[in-house]
Amino acid sequence: MAPSEPHDLSDNGAHSRQHEQGFVMLVVLWVLTSAVILVASFNAAVRGGTTSAVSEIGLSKSEALLDAGVEIAAAHLMDQDEKHQWTGNGTPHELSFGGAEIAIRVRDANGLVDLNKSDEKLLRSLFQAFTGSAPKAARYTDIVMKAREAASGSPRGKEADNVPNAGETSLAGQIAFIDVWQLARTQGIPRELFDQVAPYLTVYSRDGTINPVAAPARVLEAVPNLNRADIERLKYADKSALSDLMQKAQSYLTDESGPAYMVTVSAHRPIDHYSMTRTFAILIDGDPSAPYRLLTKWPLESLPAEKTQ
């Protein structure tokens, strides 16, 4: 029997060392991979935190600019100099302030149709202008009037006597509509119709009559007893001509302005290309302790500024 050949111990040792080196290399690669993942995660967290901080700063700047726009509007509304006084007819006013571009529109609440106080015929005429249907307009007006009756506890035509003036403190149950958006949540009112008519509605007018100087054309077209010729005359009428037109529709018109105004402010920051818009309802000269008082704002919550580029 031939003797067995001896094992080559040097070959076994070399194989063992290669195995160990491969394992060590695997461990090193795993450690390096883990380190890369940790560094990438850290960088992402830093970038996210930086972005969040920048967004918060941008939001604060935008909010401050919107507030400044309201202050500017209130100052012009109260200005005794007619050259600098704003009329609240929706004319856009653009200015530069704090390194930003601000656009301000002011609308006298008396230039809009009041859900709580305006005459039933005026409401029906406004709805008909958007629906093109007398039966639909009557149905939607009836929904509003029934809500007013339920809130005031008075028969139709008498509910306005119990509605407080703009800015007065009242219990929610005393008026039908706390804000215009409440109409959108009212059963039987289509959302599409609400979106069309909402810009011409308010809950802050003085007594429900319309100030023709401040009213948009769509509202004037809804005023009973006025025709297109009358509306055209309003654009160029002097005080005597305006008085004649008001007598023609005296139960629907007024020459009083305020005290409540809707102020829409848009602020654009060219440096970082962000913009924000908000509408405020303010009361002028209604509080002896302050030049004006904020009634509400839309949207109520703070929203991120919109990137424009």
Q: At 268, which CATH number? A: 3.30.1300
Give the range among 196-210, 236-250, 256-270, 294-308 with minimum mean pLDDT: 294-308
Same domain, 104 and 177: no
Where does the pLDDT of residue 106 fall: very low under 50, low under 70, confident under 90, or very high at 90 and above? Answer: very high
Asked whether the predicted pLDDT for residue 3 surpasses 70, the reply is: no
Tell me, yes or no, whether 248 lies in a domain. Answer: yes
pLDDT at 169: 40
Total domains present in the chain: 3
Tell me, yes or no, whether 21 lies in a domain. Answer: no
Q: Which residue has the tokens 């005429």?
A: 125
In which element (H, E) is residue 272 found? none
Strands 274-284 and 292-298 turn out to be: antiparallel
Asked whether the predicted pLDDT for residue 114 surpasses 90, the reply is: yes
What's 220's DSSP letter? H
Same domain, 65 and 145: no
Burial class from Cβ neighbours inside 10 Å (0-12, 13-18, 19+) for residue 145 reads middle
Same domain, 220 and 151: no
Same domain, 289 and 227: no
CATH (domain of 169): 1.10.40
Same domain, 151 and 175: yes
Tell me, yes or no, whether 198 lies in a domain. Answer: yes
Asked whether the predicted pLDDT for residue 1 surpasses 80, the reply is: no
Tell me, yes or no, whether 34 lies in a domain. Answer: no
Same domain, 133 and 173: yes
Give the range among 24-33, 91-100, 157-166 with minimum mean pLDDT: 157-166
Tell me, yes or no, whether 1 lies in a domain. Answer: no
Range of the domain at 132: 113-205
Q: What is the pLDDT of residues 64-85, one digit of tens each?
A: 888 888 898 888 988 888 888 8
Where does the pLDDT of residue 120 fall: very low under 50, low under 70, confident under 90, or very high at 90 and above? Answer: very high
Same domain, 160 and 216: no
Asked whether the predicted pLDDT for residue 38 surpasses 80, the reply is: no
Cα separation, 125 vs 132, whole angstroms: 10
Q: What is the pLDDT of residues 224-246, one digit of tens each?
A: 888 787 777 776 666 666 777 77
Cβ count near 228 (within 10 Å): 10
Tell me the pLDDT of the chain averaged across its residues: 77
Give the range among 50-59, 222-231, 289-298 with minimum mean pLDDT: 50-59
Tell me, yes or no, whether 25 lies in a domain. Answer: no
Same domain, 153 and 73: no
Tell me, yes or no, whether 12 lies in a domain. Answer: no
pLDDT at 200: 94
Cα separation, 131 vs 127, whole angstroms: 6
Asked whether the predicted pLDDT for residue 194 surpasses 90, the reply is: yes
Asked whether the predicted pLDDT for residue 49 surpasses 80, the reply is: no
Same domain, 118 and 105: no
Same domain, 102 and 154: no
C-alpha separations of 60 from 109, 268, 303, 306 in Å: 29, 13, 11, 13
pLDDT at 173: 47
Where does the pLDDT of residue 63 fall: very low under 50, low under 70, confident under 90, or very high at 90 and above? Answer: confident
Tell me, yes or no, whether 136 lies in a domain. Answer: yes
Same domain, 181 and 156: yes
pLDDT at 52: 45
Same domain, 117 and 187: yes
Where does the pLDDT of residue 100 fall: very low under 50, low under 70, confident under 90, or very high at 90 and above? Answer: confident
